[in-house]
Chains A and B, each alone.
Chain A
């Protein structure tokens, strides 16, 4: 009998994203509740080590579609491999991580398997084999209960919203290899290159984020004489603040975030933007420096566990959401704060 609960592992260069193990681990719990086994599907190339890890995180059965043509992620062959693996199996629940690839593959699976997908959920309840999930909508300004009235119920889980996965080296399971479904000449998309992102912790995985806003440009230091353009001067000034932010972030093993105002003004690239049109994050610690707390920014970070605000203006809305606030100049507070944290963390 086929397993009724499946989980999808998103990998990049044969490494699973952490969110994938959260999905496998949650899948294990749901399978136990249903008295079913857990099947984990991995698509890519060179997946043997991943298969072993999938078992340690809770898989009873691992299906590998392992082929050189699947080395780089491409939506169509991955979606076809997924539909092929599901085939005639009758499953109740199929979990995915809400990564860019996971979301896309799940969307395509909804079409192929004639069902629907509950995207980016933060909680799951089971009533028999029926899932009721909770998902933030309007960037978390509201929460929605959602259900999928067809099977399999496809669900993508938000990273860091579910229990931290713990591997168990003693677990056993089977590994089955499946053939790839699409031949190379049927695939209308080629991957021609790849450019790694600048180093540093990614916002969505980070448990600590230190963010800067427009306030970083309010810096009394003068830019070097060769910078004459006014907006270049402003960018230079603000970037000195982001150097301080980066210093604190690296002491805390955290990521650097930014408000949209800081991104739009060119202080830092868009990958750092937090908020309704940036990334929605919920780290354990969020330190906002020179950020006023506009509703679109708050939407992206207000579910953080502990919020700290450093802002010159005691009336800044961000203070209402902050566990700790400092009314002051970020340029004065950040250097001693970084030093103090370094000391306490014995770094």
Chain B
């Protein structure tokens, strides 16, 4: 079985974000693999462990994206490809999806493509469905459990607002994975060494066989959220009952109930 897992590089979730001269800054916080994508890598690895086969990590990004790729390799992916094209700086989600879909086709022969649920920087969560549409494959997004997977079919549960939807889809298929699936493994020592030595081929957009897609969505302005004026008030009292009564009155005064 051939599985491709798409991973993105993002600022660490602990980063305090700011805007300097109109540019987004994450200070000196490190860039890391998108946390959701670790679940995707985990799912891809478990599928090949059960079925045999290889997992290829695919990322679109600049030099920095190599860290995300290294992490995926260290977890156990056997190969990786970086699509690195300066013309893609400022690309929107549909442009990214078009390039990823083209790269997936260029790699060829994939049975399953696995995505994270969402990138924690842009918070879009639409790349998996867009790629599925471009490839014409079924999209099984928000997978919380893979019940069974054969060479021709996958049975999975999806986490939706109202509960779990169980589906069976024909391969090839696009998946996105949510946290219920199970904790991602830590890279092993051997894995880290292997990843450090791995050579990662770099492609331009032209190498994927399509013309440069143009960005449709642009973000002319990014800003810090307006400072919220919160008046902090510590509720005190001589016993819990008194504190609770005071707090209850204060909550009622806010008229939010």
Q: Which residues of A contact B (CB under 8 A)?
A: 12-13, 17, 72-76, 79, 99-101, 103-104, 106-108, 110-112, 115-120, 135-150, 188-197, 202, 204, 207-208, 252, 269-271, 273, 276-277, 280, 284-285, 294-296, 299, 302-303, 305-308, 319-328, 332-333, 335-337, 339-341, 343-345
Contact = CB atoms under 8 A, between A and B. Distances in A.
Given A73-B160, A197-B163, 16 more contacts: A104-B126, A106-B126, A115-B216, A119-B126, A137-B222, A143-B225, A147-B219, A149-B218, A195-B164, A195-B166, A294-B14, A299-B13, A308-B247, A321-B230, A324-B251, A328-B240
A76 B240 CA distance: 56
10 contacts: A12-B160, A117-B126, A142-B17, A143-B223, A189-B138, A189-B169, A194-B166, A269-B180, A325-B232, A325-B235
Interface residues of B, number: 83
A86 B126 CA distance: 20
Contacts of B142: 100
B167 interface: yes
A324 B233 contact: yes
A277 B127 CA distance: 17
A150 B231 CA distance: 44
B204 interface: no
Looking at chain B's contact residues, the main secondary structure is mixed
Interface string B227-257: 0101111110000110111011111101011
Contact of A277 (B35, B94, B243): B35
A295 to B, nearest CB: 6
A35 to B, nearest CB: 26
A278 to B, nearest CB: 8
A104 B174 CA distance: 13
B19 A104 contact: no
A323 B254 contact: yes
B240 A192 contact: no
Contacts of A116: 92-94, 215-217
Contacts of B21: none
Interface stretch (B1-9, B80-88, B116-124): B116-124
Contact of A100 (B11, B161, B169, B233): B161
Given A139-B123, A277-B179, A117 B254 contact: no
B97 interface: yes
Contacts of B194: none
Which of B17, B127, B129, B159 counts the most chain A CB atoms within 10 A? B129
Given A147-B217, A284-B256, A110 B94 contact: yes
A137 to B, nearest CB: 6
Nearest to A294: B14
A194 B224 CA distance: 41
B162 interface: yes
* 5 nearest A-B pairs in the assembled complex, by CB-CB distance: A116-B216, A107-B126, A336-B244, A340-B248, A193-B166
Contacts of B245: 336, 340
A101 B251 CA distance: 35
Interface in B93-125: 93-94, 97, 120-125
B217 A117 contact: yes
